[in-house]
Amino acid sequence: TADAATALGELVGDRAEEWDLAGRIPGETVREASRRGLLCAQVAAEHGGLGLDSRANGELTAHAGSLCGSLRSLMTSQGMAAWTVQRFGTAVQRGTFLPRLTGGETAGVAFSESGAGSDLSAMRTEIRRDGDTVHVTGQKVWVTGAAYASLLVVFGTYGDGAAVVVVPADAPGVRIERVPDPMGCRAAGHADVRLDDVRVPAGHLLSGAGLPVALLATAALTYGRLSVAWGCAGILRACLDSTAAHTRTREQFGKPLADHQLVARHLAELAVAEQVALRCCEHASACWDENRPELGTQAVVAKYVASREATKGAATAVQVLASRGARDGHPVARAYRDAKLMEIIEGSTEISQLLLADHVRTGRG
């Protein structure tokens, strides 16, 4: 993990602000991150990955989250793509697609549609098999990383159930259009994707076709939720570091800001928020690594807690840095914009609350 964290730190350097302002990470940097296995570090060594467990990958994700929310977003979607292939692919599919994801290519994961956001059962994208060919038709929105991707992991209806198909981004009938000016994670390459009777070989249809959409999507989202949660712990770390450094040196009313009690309380609350987020992440990752049945629920808890804490914590950090942080591109300004979006994705705060209430009500999972 230490080597991976160092490699990640070298790739980002001091360029996160520049990427955020430009709304773009250089393609070669994205490919290099993929080639080094950093974007989906849980993929096994036999497929060219780093073979990290969930905890170690989580720490790497938090490190990315503290440096650059956009690169961390690409890690989340690449990891989710890889996990979906790992979970639902045959041995041949794993052997075909995973080495591409650790060998310089990237993937976006496409669930959402204009009419199917929180409610994925409303998906209209149709996946249909006709002999050796699979046809895919539909329109996806806000696919993270799609602007950089050579592969799209597309969820859609399949007869009475659902399916996942791996679509090359350059297949005839695929059109990728960047989401203009996203509020946060601005360099994460979000794009809308139009699929117009796209034809791919049947070998691109992951096994598990026909399963209920909830089952297929939840498996992928569990990885995504955990990854977002760790990323939010990283956002909190960056906010804590910025506020600690600033309040030690900036003086008002004849003493450092940190010596003013109301500011000190902000520091204490940020420190606790980071710890709370981290503990929830560590617990959920332990559930993943020990294959425990409560993983699904604990991933929701971690994502819910960490994204809310990061949203509050980033607002606090902007408050404490005041004019020093009120500039686009500044780490706390990026944190403020990026963190809020983490309350929307992979199951919004409200959807998380519904899932957790359902868990309490039924006593399941």
Q: Given the rule CB under 6 A, which residues bind ligand FAD?
A: 77, 108-112, 117-118, 142-144, 185, 190, 341, 344-345, 348, 350-351, 354
CA pair distance 300, 190, nearest whole angstrom: 23
The DSSP element (H or E) to which 332 belongs, if any, is helix 331-342
CB nearer to ligand FAD: pick between 234 and 320: 234
Closest approach of Cβ 295 to ligand FAD, in Å? 20
Residue 50: which of 4, 5, 12, 106 has the closest Cα?
4
User: Cβ-closest residue to ligand FAD?
Assistant: 117
Closest approach of Cβ 221 to ligand FAD, in Å? 9
CB nearer to ligand FAD: pick between 1 and 348: 348
Closest approach of Cβ 116 to ligand FAD, in Å? 8
CA angle 177, 179, 184 (to 5 degrees): 150
Closest approach of Cβ 348 to ligand FAD, in Å? 3
* Burial of residue 312 (number of CB atoms within 10 Å: 0-12, 13-18, 19+): middle
CB nearer to ligand FAD: pick between 11 and 164: 164
CB nearer to ligand FAD: pick between 290 and 350: 350
CB nearer to ligand FAD: pick between 290 and 358: 358
Closest approach of Cβ 29 to ligand FAD, in Å? 19
Closest approach of Cβ 257 to ligand FAD, in Å? 32
Residue 306 CA neighbour count, 13 Å, CB half: 35
Q: How many CB atoms lie within 10 A of CB 363?
A: 6
Per DSSP (E only), the strands in the chain are 107-110, 126-130, 133-143, 151-158, 161-168, 174-178, 191-201, 251-252, 255-256
The sign one gets for the Cα dihedral 17, 106, 169, 206 is negative
Closest approach of Cβ 159 to ligand FAD, in Å? 21
Following CA atoms 38, 41, 44, 49 in sequence, which dihedral angle do they give, to the nearest 10 degrees?
0
CB nearer to ligand FAD: pick between 227 and 316: 227
* Burial of residue 348 (number of CB atoms within 10 Å: 0-12, 13-18, 19+): middle
CB nearer to ligand FAD: pick between 46 and 350: 350
